[in-house]
Amino acid sequence: MKIKLTNIEDTRNQAVTQILDELEKKKKEAVSSGDEELANNCWRESEALKLNIRYIEAFDKIKSRKYRDAWNDLERCEIDADSIERNSDSNFVINSRCRFIKDKVEKWQSLYPYCVFVSPGFKVGYYTCSICNHKVRPRSRCSHVKGKIYGGELCVHVAHDLEFLEVSIVTKPVQKYSVLHNDETLDFSLIDYLSSFLDNAFEDWVAHWTRMSFAIERFSQVDPSDDCPCKSGKKFEECCINEKEISIPHVDFQFFKDIPDEKANVRFPY
Would you state the pLDDT for residue 175?
Answer: 85
Q: Are 177 and 75 in contact (CB under 8 A)?
A: yes
Convert the pLDDT of each residue in 67-112 to its tens digit.
Answer: 999 999 999 999 999 999 999 999 999 999 999 999 999 999 999 9
Q: What is the mean pLDDT of residues 51-72?
A: 98
Q: Is the whole model's pTM more than 0.85, yes or no?
A: yes
The full set of domain ranges for the chain reads 8-113, 118-170, 204-255
Average pLDDT over residues 197-219: 95
Q: What is the mean pLDDT of residues 120-135?
A: 94
Task: Return the H-helix or E-strand segment holding 106.
Answer: helix 98-111
Whether residue 2 has pLDDT greater than 80: no
What span, in angstroms and rounded, lies between the C-alpha atoms of 76 and 73?
A: 5
Position 47 scores a pLDDT of 98
Residues in the chain: 270
Backbone φ and ψ for 157, nearest 5 degrees, come out as: -100, 120
What sign has the CA pseudo-torsion 69, 71, 74, 75?
negative
pLDDT tens digit string along 137-181?
888 889 999 999 999 999 999 999 999 999 999 988 888 989 999
Q: Are strands 157-160 and 126-129 parallel, antiparallel or unpaired?
A: antiparallel
